[in-house]
């Protein structure tokens, strides 16, 4: 097992770099939506924590239609276990404009002494990677750590790169070397600067190979090596080993399919929980609204209660004042003088009301007399006209007196309000 020699980058510096580039505004800002920038930052921090050989940067990505945009990328190597030895595969993961709602773009980034295997089921000649995890990307559960983990497993089953041997400066009569199915061992050093561009400053649809100081492959060199995995080895392998390897690959694919089905089921369950949460929030708003209405109604009832208490106080005071009079005049009670007005306005109101009701009784009696023929019709009209005129004046006087009394009552209540408030 080859131990990686790369030193993990400073986690605090990575956090500061991501916070800086994601918080920029204006023409130089990154094209990601505001509601996803925090999730993008968390994805990259988790990726760097699990795979320190990857490094977050910003670079210019040129689409196939010629449109250029400044995007985030994770540049470096990922581990690839192959036949008991761990190698590092150089790769670039681009976070596109619509990330994380849509999957990123991953490219194998071969060095000068590497070439891409053709054909490869998951890597095209330009280096673009296509694996089931990218095709089944599900927002928001899918993430970069799981993506790199699957890339490492897929590349371990079928390495995407050849390590091409370099020509020997002193040629010998030995036959020309053959490319091997292997990748560089993990002894790669990375630049510690964040946000640096590639050598070309941009990419036309896919990243161009970057001239970084990768060490030569252990399968290269001028001398013949028996440790390389030459193509003829598959022909001499034992049938039991081949069957075992195929069975393991089949089991891995089956487990991966089961995991994807389980993930989809959990996504459906999560959507149901989100819907239930929305319903609960709506009910919470309705309950808060009803509570506010009940609070307002309570305040209105308390105000009415204060008015009732004030009126009760007035009535009790009146009963106490007139209770003695009732006891004194209990023997010779005069019905006409049973009520005594407290002030001239009350007396005038009583007289006007009594006169109004008396005129009502007279007009009713005249109506009955006309219907029975006891009073001539012209005399009925003349009397009703006179009575109506007199009734109008009594009612107008009563209305004015009532208005004055209401003003006096309001002034009295205002004077007593501090007593009840305390």
Cα torsion angle, 225, 231, 235, 241, sign: positive
Cα torsion angle, 28, 34, 38, 43, sign: negative
State CA 248 to chain mean position distance. Answer: 42
Residues in the chain, how many? 422
- Contact of 147 with 77, CB cutoff 8 Å: no
236, 252, 268: which is the final residue of a domain? Answer: 236
* pLDDT for residue 386: 94
Give the tokens for residue 230.
Answer: 């030459």
- Contact of 61 with 202, CB cutoff 8 Å: yes
236, 269, 298: which is the final residue of a domain? Answer: 236
Is residue 391 a part of any domain in this protein? yes
Structure letter (DSSP) for residue 169: S
Is residue 287 a part of any domain in this protein? no
* pLDDT for residue 230: 37
Alpha-carbon distance of 186 to 214, in angstroms, equals: 9
* pLDDT for residue 276: 93
Run of H or E including 411 = helix 377-421
* pLDDT for residue 129: 93
178, 205, 236: which is the final residue of a domain? Answer: 236
Domain range enclosing 169: 11-236
Is residue 322 a part of any domain in this protein? no
146: closest CA among 79, 46, 55?
46
Q: How many domains does the chain have?
A: 2
User: What are the pLDDT tens digits along the chain (422 aa)?
Assistant: 333 334 444 678 888 888 888 888 877 788 898 888 889 999 999 999 999 999 999 999 988 888 888 999 999 999 988 888 888 889 999 999 899 999 999 999 888 888 888 888 889 888 899 999 999 998 888 999 999 999 999 988 888 887 766 555 554 444 433 334 444 443 333 333 333 333 333 343 333 333 333 443 333 333 333 333 333 344 455 777 888 888 898 899 899 999 999 999 999 999 899 999 999 999 999 999 999 999 999 999 999 999 999 999 999 988 888 777 666 666 666 666 667 778 888 888 889 999 999 999 999 999 999 998 888 999 999 999 999 999 999 999 999 999 998 888 888 877 776 655 55
* pLDDT for residue 412: 81
CA atoms within 13 A on the CB side of 14: 23
CA distances for 285 relative to 290, 296, 364, angstroms: 9, 17, 61
């Amino acid at each position: 097992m080859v131990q990686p020699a790369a030193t993990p980058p400073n986690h605090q510096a990575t956090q500061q770099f991501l916070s800086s580039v994601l918080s920029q505004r204006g023409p130089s800002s990154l094209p990601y939506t505001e509601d996803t920038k925090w999730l993008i930052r968390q994805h990259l921090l988790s990726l760097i924590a699990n795979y320190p050989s990857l490094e977050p940067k910003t670079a210019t990505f040129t689409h196939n239609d010629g449109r250029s945009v400044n995007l985030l990328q994770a540049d470096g190597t990922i581990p690839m276990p192959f036949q008991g030895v761990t190698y590092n595969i150089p790769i670039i993961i681009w976070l596109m404009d619509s990330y994380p709602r849509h999957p990123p773009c991953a490219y194998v980034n071969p060095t000068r002494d590497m070439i891409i295997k053709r054909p490869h089921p998951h890597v095209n000649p330009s280096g673009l990677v296509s694996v089931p995890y990218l095709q089944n990307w599900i927002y928001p559960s899918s993430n970069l750590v799981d993506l790199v983990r699957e890339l490492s497993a897929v590349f371990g089953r079928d390495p995407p790169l050849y390590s091409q041997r370099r020509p020997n400066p002193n040629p010998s009569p030995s036959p020309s070397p053959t490319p091997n199915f292997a990748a560089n061992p993990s002894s790669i050093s990375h630049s510690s600067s964040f946000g640096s561009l590639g050598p070309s400053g941009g990419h036309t649809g896919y990243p161009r190979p970057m001239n970084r100081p990768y060490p030569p492959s252990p399968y290269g060199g001028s001398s013949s090596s028996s440790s390389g995995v030459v193509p003829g080895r598959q022909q001499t392998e034992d049938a039991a080993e081949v069957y075992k390897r195929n069975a393991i690959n089949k089991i891995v694919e089956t487990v991966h399919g089961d995991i994807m089905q389980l993930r989809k089921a959990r996504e459906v369950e999560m959507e149901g929980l989100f819907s239930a949460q929305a319903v609960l929030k709506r009910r919470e708003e309705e309950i808060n609204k009803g509570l506010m209405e009940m609070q307002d109604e309570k305040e209105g009832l308390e105000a009415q209660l204060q008015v009732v208490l004030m009126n009760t106080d007035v009535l009790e005071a009146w009963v106490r004042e007139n209770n003695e009079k009732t006891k004194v005049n209990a023997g010779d009670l005069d019905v006409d003088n049973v009520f005594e007005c407290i002030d001239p306005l009350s007396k005038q109101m009583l007289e006007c009301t009594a006169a109004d009701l008396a005129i009502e009784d007279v007009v009713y009696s005249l109506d009955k007399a006309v219907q029975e023929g006891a009073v001539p019709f012209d005399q009925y009209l003349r009397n009703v006209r006179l009575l109506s005129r007199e009734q109008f004046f009594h009612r107008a006087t009563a209305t004015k007196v009532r208005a004055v009394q209401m003003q006096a009552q309001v002034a009295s209540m205002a004077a007593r309000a501090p007593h009840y408030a305390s």
